[in-house]
Structure 1
Amino acid sequence: MTHTKTVELEGHIIDSGTMGRCFGLVMDLGGEFEVEAFDVGRHKEEESYCRLRVSAPNEERLRSILHELHQNGANLSDPVDATLDPAPADRVVPTGFYSTTNHPTQVRHAGEWLDVERIEMDCAVVVDPDGPRAYTATLNAVRAGDLVVTGEAGVRVDPPDRPRDGGGPFGFMQGGVSSERPSRSLIERVAEALVETKAEGGRILVVAGPAVIHSGAGEALARLVREGYVDALSAGNGFAVHDLERAIYGTSLGMNIETLEHPRKGHKHHIYTISEVIRAGGIEAAVEAGLVEDGVMYECVVGDVPYVLAGSIRDDGPLPETITDAVEAQNAIREQAHEADMVLMLSTLLHSVAVGNCLPSTTKVVCVDIDPATVTQLLDRGSSQAVGMVTDVGTFVPTLAETVLD
């Protein structure tokens, strides 16, 4: 017995490759499809429409195909209200709960489509019928009795379309990783995007690793903070320690960045730095006391730029401001991510993936690392909107600051 369902695709489905991708998914998963309707957009702004009748030899196979199609923006043509089941206990979701993508999503409740608030990947969707409203909840945030969406019926996903003409300040952000792209011209496009984001009142989040300081790019990043092109900073204990060590001792990991010399006892500078900052009462207190007079953390304190330092088990110290509770750190990063309109990820694999997991697919992302695997892993995790630059962050950040500010 053949099982069938009809799905619809709308938008720039040809330019984005969505239609071809959906065709391939059906065939790869052992199903068949018939195109019942296909209207091609004939102008740049005009969208296309495709209705597919999808069939499979059994219910389970069809369900698997529909799941993959749904992730790519194909929605059932005869929507019903989403199925809501109460969470049986705190942090326990109903079996078969709907796990979100990072794309804009709606759920159907009482015959109306509700936008899912604070969308990010790998979350549950909770519906408050009194609103009515729908919002994402991480598993540890689900509470007993919450009405959780189960299954994919009554859920609509809208992946962002690729610009047809590639124009505009964000036109270059179409995903992918390459070391073959002309770095200077791409940096100019990133600079244009930064300026445009600020001009429109948007917020820029920088996710930075210790290599930014160790490569000599800290001064340029500090300048971007000082000039108002960084609205929030997400980093780890190591980044802050390197930056503060540079401000106090002129070294990073014991090396003088300008001369590349290793002063006597320089290898102890990072732990001395942590000790001095703890003694002062924290980073802000160290700035107020004159112990720290420049650097990225200094500019964040002076300019009242919020920062999150997420800790790990390998941290020395750590600094007083470093958040050592993993769940608390996740929540702090999540708040930053949801407020960001553009994100610069600079040479940090773990923090880039952590922040990327919290971002909706509508947020512009630029990931820079000398290692292609860092950028590839970010895209593989689902941040398909990111553009990757495989280049030295020590060259990228100063060039970016020069392009934006000079």
Structure 2
Amino acid sequence: MTVSREIELEGHIIDSGMMQAAFGIVMDMGGSFSVEEFDIGRHKTESSYARLLVEADDEEQLQSIVHELHQNGANPADPKDAKLTPAPGDQVVPTGFYSTTNHPTFIRYEGEWVAVEDVEMDCAVVVEDGDDPRAYTKVLNAVEEGDLIVTGETGIKVEPPERPRDKEGAFGFMQGGVSSERPSVSTIHQIADAIEETKQEGGKVLAVCGPALIHSGAREDLARLVDEGFVDMLSAGNGFAVHDLERDLYGTSLGMDTESLDHPRKGHKHHIYTISEIIRAGGIEPAVDDGLIESGVMYECVTNDVPFVLAGSIRDDGPLPDTITDAVEAQDAIREQAHEADMVLMLSTLLHSVAVGNCLPSTTRVVCVDINPATVTQLLDRGSAQAVGMVTDIGTFVPILAESLLEEA
């Protein structure tokens, strides 16, 4: 005897691939389906609708299939209110709690759909009761005893962003593609247009930077973008800041002159000397205020009041006084930046980009640039439909981007 459940798909489900994905999920997991209703949108602005009857051999198999369908935007045809269970203790969630995706999510509460605030993946959803109920995400270590946590799959609606039907506007080219063959200069100019549009809309641009940006000689161009207001926030590691500051103090990055490519005598000690001098000054901002640091990305962040988060790792030398060495504290700081960002530039850093990417909703516009194709693919496989990847040298990308933006400014 089989069990069944009706599910619905709505939106641009054909050109976004949602319907094809749903069919594949059901068949791959050993179930079957029949299409009970299918209305096709006949114009660009019209959405489509499909209602499927999904069948499985038993309730456990059916629940697994429905769970996977739900993660891809399919929802039950007869939604009920979400199940809420109090957290039994601080940092303890109820068994079977709903673990979020990075897609826009809604919780059904007392017959109404409530949008979940601050959506990011792998969180719990907390609901606050009252005349104006709220639903929002919490990481597990922030859960407090008594928090009403959404459990199970009932009363939850997920809406993955849909691929646009045309390419109008500055963001029309951003459709999750990764390529080393598309015309690089043209794509960079499109990215510049997207940054311009973000700024014109009052949005914020977050740059996530790795040390390779300094090594490649792109430091001065990124500093100019910060100074001209095209970068509103910076997220990086201890190494990025150290090598940026080292370039100002000693003219080197990790001991190498980025212009002549020479390795000065004792150049291999410059990074640790730099850390020592910044510690002596009391931090990056005091070093800038005292005139010790007079150029570079960190200098422009301080002088232009651009907030930065330097998250530490077990590999760090020093570290700098500004580097956050507590992992949970660093995550919270990164999360706060990510929730404010409207566009994110991930510039040649896998680990920091993954950390920021885990905090982003799938609707945030993302540009990922790295010389390694595997890095770009891994980062964009988060599922964002508003993302583009470029496989190119960061030392080429940033100067062309700066030239394009500063010519238009």
Whether contact under 8 Å (1:253, 1:266) holds in the other structure is yes
Give the 5 Å matches for 1:2-401.
2-130=2-130, 131-383=132-384, 385-401=386-402
Once residues 13 and 235 of structure 2 are traced to their aligned partners in structure 1, the CA distance between those partners, rounded to angstroms, is 35
Once residues 384 and 166 of structure 2 are traced to their aligned partners in structure 1, the CA distance between those partners, rounded to angstroms, is 22
Structure 1 gaps of 5+ residues are none
SS at match of 1:235: strand
SS at match of 2:192: helix
Once residues 69 and 385 of structure 1 are traced to their aligned partners in structure 2, the CA distance between those partners, rounded to angstroms, is 21
Amino acid at match of 1:249: Y
Once residues 386 and 377 of structure 2 are traced to their aligned partners in structure 1, the CA distance between those partners, rounded to angstroms, is 12
CA offset at residue 375 of structure 1?
1.1
SS at match of 2:395: helix
SS at match of 2:36: strand
Amino acid at match of 1:123: C
Once residues 393 and 71 of structure 2 are traced to their aligned partners in structure 1, the CA distance between those partners, rounded to angstroms, is 34
- Equivalence for 2:406: 405
CA offset at residue 384 of structure 1?
5.3
Whether contact under 8 Å (1:36, 1:52) holds in the other structure is yes
Amino acid at match of 2:137: T
| Stretch moving more, 312-321 or 381-390 | 381-390
Amino acid at match of 1:20: Q
SS at match of 1:98: coil
Once residues 263 and 174 of structure 2 are traced to their aligned partners in structure 1, the CA distance between those partners, rounded to angstroms, is 41
SS at match of 1:251: coil
Whether contact under 8 Å (2:348, 2:369) holds in the other structure is yes
Whether contact under 8 Å (1:2, 1:57) holds in the other structure is yes
Once residues 181 and 55 of structure 2 are traced to their aligned partners in structure 1, the CA distance between those partners, rounded to angstroms, is 42
Once residues 311 and 64 of structure 1 are traced to their aligned partners in structure 2, the CA distance between those partners, rounded to angstroms, is 39
| Stretch moving more, 354-363 or 160-169 | 160-169
SS at match of 1:173: coil
Q: Which runs of 4+ in 1 moved over 2 A?
A: 379-386
Once residues 383 and 138 of structure 1 are traced to their aligned partners in structure 2, the CA distance between those partners, rounded to angstroms, is 20
Once residues 123 and 173 of structure 1 are traced to their aligned partners in structure 2, the CA distance between those partners, rounded to angstroms, is 27
Whether contact under 8 Å (2:161, 2:385) holds in the other structure is no
CA offset at residue 178 of structure 1?
1.4
CA offset at residue 340 of structure 1?
0.3
Whether contact under 8 Å (2:35, 2:50) holds in the other structure is yes
SS at match of 1:256: coil
Once residues 33 and 351 of structure 2 are traced to their aligned partners in structure 1, the CA distance between those partners, rounded to angstroms, is 40
Whether contact under 8 Å (2:237, 2:323) holds in the other structure is yes
Once residues 403 and 212 of structure 2 are traced to their aligned partners in structure 1, the CA distance between those partners, rounded to angstroms, is 19
- Count of aligned pairs: 406
Once residues 23 and 143 of structure 1 are traced to their aligned partners in structure 2, the CA distance between those partners, rounded to angstroms, is 40
SS at match of 1:255: coil
Whether contact under 8 Å (1:357, 1:383) holds in the other structure is no
CA offset at residue 121 of structure 1?
0.5
CA offset at residue 42 of structure 1?
0.7
Once residues 17 and 28 of structure 2 are traced to their aligned partners in structure 1, the CA distance between those partners, rounded to angstroms, is 16
CA offset at residue 383 of structure 1?
4.3
The CA deviation string for residues 187-239 of structure 1, in whole angstroms up to 9 with x for no partner, is 01100000000011000000000000000001000000000000000000000
SS at match of 2:324: coil
Percent identical: 75
Whether contact under 8 Å (1:203, 1:341) holds in the other structure is yes
| Stretch moving more, 91-100 or 301-310 | 91-100
Whether contact under 8 Å (1:353, 1:381) holds in the other structure is no
CA offset at residue 382 of structure 1?
4.1
Once residues 373 and 112 of structure 1 are traced to their aligned partners in structure 2, the CA distance between those partners, rounded to angstroms, is 43
Whether contact under 8 Å (2:91, 2:143) holds in the other structure is yes
The CA deviation string for residues 244-287 of structure 1, in whole angstroms up to 9 with x for no partner, is 00011110011111111111111100000000011011000000
Once residues 55 and 74 of structure 1 are traced to their aligned partners in structure 2, the CA distance between those partners, rounded to angstroms, is 15
The CA deviation string for residues 305-335 of structure 1, in whole angstroms up to 9 with x for no partner, is 0000000011000000000000000000000
SS at match of 1:134: strand
CA offset at residue 380 of structure 1?
3.1
Amino acid at match of 2:52: L
CA offset at residue 175 of structure 1?
0.7
Whether contact under 8 Å (1:81, 1:108) holds in the other structure is yes
SS at match of 1:24: helix
Whether contact under 8 Å (1:103, 1:361) holds in the other structure is yes
CA offset at residue 386 of structure 1?
2.5
Whether contact under 8 Å (1:212, 1:347) holds in the other structure is yes
CA offset at residue 381 of structure 1?
4.0
Amino acid at match of 1:138: V
Amino acid at match of 1:61: Q
CA offset at residue 183 of structure 1?
0.6
Once residues 331 and 338 of structure 1 are traced to their aligned partners in structure 2, the CA distance between those partners, rounded to angstroms, is 11
Give the aligned CA root-mean-square deviation in angstroms: 0.8
SS at match of 1:309: strand
Amino acid at match of 1:223: R
